[in-house]
Amino acid sequence: MESLSHDLVAELIQGSSSGFAALASSRLIERHPAVTQVYGSSAFSSWRFSLESWLLELAAAVRDELPALLGSHCEWMATTFEARGVKTRHLELAIACLGEVLGEELPPGGAESIAPFFEAAQVALKGRSSALECSTSADAIDVTTAGGKLATSFLRAALESDRAAARQLIQEALAKNGQSSQQLVTDVLLAAQRELGRLWQRDEVSIAEEHVVTEITRDLIRELLRTEARSPTNGHTVVAASVDGDGHDLGIRTLADLFELEGWRTVYVGTDVPRDEIVRAVEIYQAHLVALSGSLSQHREMIAQTIATIRSQVDRTVKVLVGGRAFDREGELWRRVGADGYARTLRAGVVKGRELLGIPEAP
């Protein structure tokens, strides 16, 4: 049987992800009633939600022809599920049901195209004695460093919603340790955000606590960067946004702030911004550079579409810089969305933006 093109299969999976997830969830619950244990009466909607999101990640991996991407997503998912008492075995059963549904529903050749992805998922899930320790360690705070210790204390205060104490810790570090505001932002506040994500994944903090910390962090980043000296204007404009579907804003907003300190005129449009509105912002503000952020693999396709729309609708040359976790797992993913450049960190992003426009470093 000839296999279908990866792009077409990805499109079909993404377009019908909600229906496929519903079919697989009802099959899963009917065949393996034990999978309802943790969720009780909301089992169907919970499984459907998780499987739909898994299918979107599958579509992203299929599009880029990278089964390993789905493997690492499965590890992330197993960790997250295990922390909430859902067995990895149940996840395996759920994915098997999805495999069956896709085999029945995709046109001839579809199942062949996605077989390597299901194999990668199986390999990633098989033989995991404890998922919990595997995929959360990279984001942990390094408590052996001064910055790590400060990030831990800050996070503790912020989790208590003790805004004054959290602020005082950072202000004291600014006054005493000779660290710059930018360093405190990137090495302490954003490190605390990553640890916060790790704690959420391990079910040790709730979404409500995450929101509380994120708000305190956002205010402090703004306050800290306001005190930094600003370079003279370089005459260039950058439009920054997270694309449609992506609700994470601290990374991209802080990047916009750093560009501003370097003398750029910055236009921060926000999160979850529809493709056409990003293009509109490029036109209204006559941007020279667009910085786009994506947090999950499934956001890459919208970034690709946004860049294609900019290229086709804007007459001037506009450079596009991308970043975010959606690109961090594999070095070359940024090229596939049609961007001009990528950076892993915010500082490197500002340097890359300057390079793309041929702007000399500010004195």
Per CB under 6 A, does 71 bind ligand B12? no
HSE, side-chain direction, 13 A CA sphere, residue 159: 17
Please identify which residue in 1, 207, 208, 229 interacts with ligand B12, judged by CB under 6 A. 207
Considering CB under 6 A, how many residues would be counted as binding ligand B12? 37
Per CB under 6 A, does 338 bind ligand B12? no
For residue 56, what are its two tokens? Answer: 């979107």
Q: How many whole angstroms separate alpha carbon 210 and alpha carbon 96?
A: 33
Please identify which residue in 198, 275, 288, 319 interacts with ligand B12, judged by CB under 6 A. 198
For residue 263, what are its two tokens? Answer: 């003398």
Q: How many whole angstroms separate alpha carbon 324 and alpha carbon 294?
A: 5
Per CB under 6 A, does 245 bind ligand B12? yes
Q: How far is the CB of 126 from ligand B12 (least distance, A)?
A: 20
Give the DSSP H/E element, type plus range, for residue 291. strand 289-293
Longest dimension (CA), the chain: 69
Q: How far is the CB of 345 from ligand B12 (least distance, A)?
A: 5
Query: Which listed range, 109-117, 153-161, 262-270, 321-329, lies at the site for ligand B12 (CB under 6 A)?
Result: 321-329
Per CB under 6 A, does 343 bind ligand B12? yes
Query: Which listed range, 9-17, 58-66, 95-103, 251-259, lies at the site for ligand B12 (CB under 6 A)?
Result: 251-259
Residue tagged 């990279």 (tokens): 138
Mapping DSSP to helix (H, G, I), strand (E, B) and coil, where does residue 341 land? strand
Please identify which residue in 88, 113, 182, 295 interacts with ligand B12, judged by CB under 6 A. 295
Of 241, 233, 227, 222, the residue nearest 264 (C-alpha): 233
Q: How many whole angstroms separate alpha carbon 159 and alpha carbon 211?
A: 10
Kindly tell me which of 78 and 196 has the beta carbon lying closer to ligand B12: 196
Per CB under 6 A, does 330 bind ligand B12? no
Kindly tell me which of 106 and 253 has the beta carbon lying closer to ligand B12: 253
Please identify which residue in 251, 278, 279, 340 interacts with ligand B12, judged by CB under 6 A. 251
Q: How many whole angstroms separate alpha carbon 48 and alpha carbon 27?
A: 11
Please identify which residue in 131, 250, 282, 310 interacts with ligand B12, judged by CB under 6 A. 250
Q: How many whole angstroms separate alpha carbon 19 and alpha carbon 12?
A: 11
Site string for ligand B12, 4-43 (x = CB under 6 A): ----------------------------------------
Question: Is the four-CA dihedral 170, 172, 174, 179 of positive or negative sign?
Answer: negative
Question: Residues 126, 130, 133, 135: what is their CA dihedral angle, to the nearest 10 degrees?
Answer: 20
Binding site for ligand B12 (CB under 6 A): 73, 76, 139, 190, 193-194, 196-198, 200-201, 207, 210, 214, 245-252, 255, 291, 293, 295-296, 321-325, 328, 343, 345-346, 349
